[in-house]
């Protein structure tokens, strides 16, 4: 059941809201857990058993880690629990990739290759495993107490708005809310707006962008030229943003309707001026997770072992940064998918971060600000091609097309063929939406009630709110029309 399906919006959501709000506060977690299990089972029933297994193990592990006073044993239990979580991820997500890589390696030594058929990947396993790990680490670090209520921990790990694509909320943020269950019309209505905004991002913007990007990326080399290849990359860059940001908005909006405030995941990422800045704005809950639970521990552990001096002309701190960044982004790439394209994508980001740290960042800071944006956008366009392509060979071939190795004459006639009314509208709104343009418009409209001109002030409040309600509900109707027409496609982050 996808968020942008009729079944979710017009059946699952209202029925769950109904039972949630008629139930006593003490029963609301049970309602949420039941809804979450139905939600996950809807894709395939046996896969939700993996989710239940993960919840149970992490529940037991949390309590055991907290109750063990012996530090060595505590560390051992913690390690075992972490290994269990990672093993779960490896078996369901990476088994086939690892097996086939080994097979290719041994076949180069003349040994017969073999094929490992992986399991079907449980829905959102990458997301809920990271949430579970964040819980265990917090318990181990004594930042939080181990959860004694199985239901509450189960809701934290499996809560349906976050189940398939995050945000990867920290336990310490969500846990108090799952006890409190406070709600208000203000929060509920802001949740409605956020949900519909996300739905529109997905259905009205990301879907047509996906259609263009898919057509261009699937075209044979002979049918491409450089402008068209760049155009395809731009469409994909916008698609992935609106797809994922749309999902996140829907998740946050749904959370608000249930009185829950989830962590934000995006902050105008394409407005960034460097790769470092980008990762502070893109998939924030993942980047902060990686920073807190992987990068910093790796850097800290290494810094304890290395003396403060220079190696090969580089300061120790820089070596540590290089080491921790490479590993973090290698794993970040792998987290996104079990394929070499994701590994290269992660390493490419890591490499640019290292270069920015080693002096390029300083040069960049001194550069004209539009040039800083241009640098980041060019970098992202190339990196998203790696992310989008089915193989490294395809990625390099496409990047080659962007630089003029395509089979068509280098002019804009092929691009113009794609510029129909819908695509022009989507591109204009899409590009403006990556900036703060609509924030400024909204700010202007919000200022109506405070204006000094009495007529505008008097009518402004009503005008602003009534127009807002009509706009929100019409957007829901329009999105529903596109869903019914069957032109929407699954979320990209759904497969991670």
Partner 1 sequence: MYQVILTVLFLCMISFSFLNDFFGFYKVPETSQTENRKLASKPSFDINKLDPYPKSYGNYFNDQFPFREDLRLLNSLICYYVLHQSPLPGEVEVGKHGWFFSDQKESVVYQGKFDLAKYQISSLVKELHNRTIDYGKKGIRFYVAFPPMKPEIYPEYLPIDFRRAPNGTVTDKIVKAIKEDPVIQYIDLKTALLKAKKFGRLYNHTDNHWNRIGAFYGYNEIIGRILKDFPEIKPVTRSDFFFKTEIESAGNQANMIGLSKYLFEIQYKPIFRKSKSKYLQPIHKAPDWASYIMDYEVSKSTGDTTLPSVVIVRDSYASVMMPFLDETFHKVTYIFDAWRYGRNEAIIADMKPDIVILIIFEPHISHLIGK
417 lies in the site for partner 1, by CB under 8 A: yes
As a whole number of angstroms, the distance between CA 98 and CA 117 comes to 11
What torsion, rounded to 10 degrees, do the Cα atoms 162, 164, 167, 173 define?
40
Half-sphere CA count of 104, side-chain side, radius 13 A: 6
CB 31 within 8 A of CB 16: yes
Give yes or no for a contact between 124 and 44, defined as CB atoms under 8 angstroms apart. Answer: no
Helices (H), 141-206: 150-158, 160-163, 171-180, 185-200
Are 336 and 346 in contact by the 8 Å Cβ rule? The answer is yes
Listed ranges 162-170, 198-206, 220-228, 277-285: which one lies at the site for partner 1 (CB under 8 A): 220-228
Backbone angles phi, psi at 255, to 5 degrees: -55, -45
H/E element, 83: helix 71-89
Q: CB of residue 19 vs partner 1: minimum separation in angstroms? A: 13
Segment lying near partner 1 (by CB under 8 A), choices 100-108, 125-133, 388-396, 473-481: 473-481
Smallest Cα–Cα separation from 316: which of 326, 304, 327? 304
The stretch near partner 1 (CB under 8 A) out of 115-123, 185-193, 239-247, 331-339 is 185-193
- Cβ of residue 464: shortest distance to partner 1, in angstroms? 9
> Does 363 interact with partner 1 (rule: CB under 8 A)?
no
Q: Binding segment for partner 1 among 27-35, 121-129, 143-151, 218-226 (CB under 8 A)? A: 218-226
Please list the helix, strand and coil fractions of the chain in percent, rounded to the nearest 5, in that order. Answer: 75, 0, 25
- Does the protein bind partner 1 through residue 475 (CB under 8 A)? no
Q: What residues from 34 to 53 belong to the interface with partner 1 (CB under 8 A)? A: 41-45
Give min distance, CB of 193 to partner 1, in A: 8
In the complex, minimum distance from the CB of residue 254 to partner 1, in angstroms, rounded to a whole number = 12
| Paired tokens of 458 | 């008097």
Q: Reply yes or no on whether 181 is catalytic.
A: no
Which of 349, 350, 295 is CA-nearest to residue 326? Answer: 350
Choice between 106 and 481, CB closer to partner 1:
481
Q: Please give the backbone phi and psi of residue 340, each rounded to the nearest 5 degrees, phi first.
A: -65, -30
Using CB under 8 A as the binding rule, whether residue 120 contacts partner 1 is answered as no
**Among the residue ranges 90-98, 170-178, 274-282, 483-491, the one whose residues contact partner 1 (CB under 8 A):** 483-491
Choice from 245, 414, 427, 492 touching partner 1 (CB under 8 A): 414
Q: What is the SS3 assignment for 485? A: coil
DSSP secondary-structure letter at 166?
-
d(CA 428, CA 430): 5
Residue from the set 72, 110, 141, 186 that interacts with partner 1 by CB under 8 A: 186
Check: CB of residue 341 under 8 Å from CB of residue 387: yes
**415 CB-near residues (< 8 Å, 6+ apart):** 227, 228, 231
| Minimum distance of partner 1 from residue 99's CB (angstroms) | 26
Stretch of 8-16, 197-205, 303-311, 315-323 lying at the interface with partner 1 (CB under 8 A)? 8-16
Number of H helices, E strands in the chain: 25, 2
Task: State how beta strands 310-311 and 314-315 pair.
Answer: antiparallel
Q: 241-280 mask for partner 1 (x: CB under 8 A)?
A: ----------------------------------------
| Residue 238 or 426 with smaller CB distance to partner 1 | 426
By CB under 8 A, residue 466 contacts partner 1: yes
Q: Which is nearer to partner 1, 224 or 320 (CB)?
A: 224
DSSP strands (E only) in 361-457: none
Number of residues in contact with partner 1, rule: CB under 8 A? 50
Map residues 425-464 to x or -, x wherever contact with partner 1 holds by CB under 8 A: x---------------------------------------
Catalytic residue (one of 4, 181, 336, 349):
336
CA pseudo-torsion sign 122, 127, 133, 138? negative
Tell me, residue by residue from 372 to 391, as one string, x for binding to partner 1 by CB under 8 A and - for no binding: --------------------
Residues of this chain that interact with partner 1 (CB under 8 A) are: 1, 5-7, 9-11, 13-15, 17-18, 41-45, 185-186, 188-189, 192-193, 211, 215, 219-220, 222-223, 414, 417-418, 420-422, 425, 465-466, 468-469, 472-473, 476, 480-482, 484-487
Task: List active site positions.
Answer: 336
């Amino acid at each position: 059941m996808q968020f942008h399906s009729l079944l979710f919006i017009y059946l699952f959501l209202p029925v769950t809201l109904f039972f949630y709000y008629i139930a006593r506060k003490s029963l609301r977690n049970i309602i949420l857990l039941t809804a979450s299990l139905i939600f996950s089972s809807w894709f395939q029933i046996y896969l939700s058993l993996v989710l239940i297994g993960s919840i149970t193990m992490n529940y037991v592990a949390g309590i055991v880690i907290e109750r063990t006073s012996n530090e060595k044993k505590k560390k051992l239990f913690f390690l075992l629990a972490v290994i269990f979580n990672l093993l779960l991820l490896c078996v369901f997500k990476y088994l086939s990739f690892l097996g086939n890589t080994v097979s290719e390696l041994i076949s180069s030594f003349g040994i017969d290759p073999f094929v490992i058929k992986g399991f079907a990947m449980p829905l959102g396993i990458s997301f809920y495993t990271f949430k579970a790990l964040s819980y265990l680490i917090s318990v181990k670090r004594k930042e939080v107490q181990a959860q004694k209520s199985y239901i509450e921990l189960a809701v934290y790990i499996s809560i349906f708005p976050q189940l398939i694509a995050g945000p990867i909320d920290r336990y310490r943020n969500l846990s108090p809310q799952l006890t409190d269950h406070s709600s208000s019309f203000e929060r509920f209505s802001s949740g409605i707006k956020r949900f519909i905004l996300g739905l529109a991002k997905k259905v009205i913007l990301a879907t047509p962008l996906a259609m263009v990007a898919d057509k261009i990326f699937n075209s044979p080399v002979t049918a491409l030229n450089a402008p068209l290849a760049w155009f395809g990359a731009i469409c994909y860059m916008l698609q992935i943003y609106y797809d994922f940001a749309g999902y996140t908005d829907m998740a946050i909006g749904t959370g608000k309707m249930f009185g829950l405030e989830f962590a934000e995941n995006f902050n105008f990422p394409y407005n960034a001026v460097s790769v470092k800045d980008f990762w502070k704005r893109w998939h924030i809950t993942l980047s902060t997770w990686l920073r807190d639970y992987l990068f910093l521990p790796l850097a800290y552990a290494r810094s304890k072992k290395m003396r403060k001096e220079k190696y090969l002309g580089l300061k120790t701190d820089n070596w540590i940064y290089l080491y921790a960044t490479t590993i973090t982004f290698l794993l970040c790439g792998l987290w996104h998918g079990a394929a070499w394209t994701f590994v290269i994508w992660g390493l490419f980001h890591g490499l640019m971060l290292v270069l920015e740290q080693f002096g390029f960042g300083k040069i960049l800071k001194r550069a004209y600000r539009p040039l800083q944006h241009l640098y980041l956008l060019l970098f992202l366009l190339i990196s998203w091609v790696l992310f989008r392509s089915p193989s490294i060979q395809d990625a390099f071939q496409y990047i080659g097309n962007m630089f003029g190795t395509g089979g068509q004459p280098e002019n804009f006639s092929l691009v113009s063929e794609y510029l129909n009314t819908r695509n022009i509208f989507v591109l204009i709104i899409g590009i403006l939406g990556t900036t703060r343009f609509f924030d400024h418009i909204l700010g202007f409209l919000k200022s109506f009630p405070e204006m000094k001109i009495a007529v505008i002030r008097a009518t402004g409040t009503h005008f602003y709110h009534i127009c807002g309600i009509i706009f929100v509900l019409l957007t829901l109707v329009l999105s529903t029309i596109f869903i019914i027409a069957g032109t929407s496609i699954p979320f990209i982050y759904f497969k991670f």
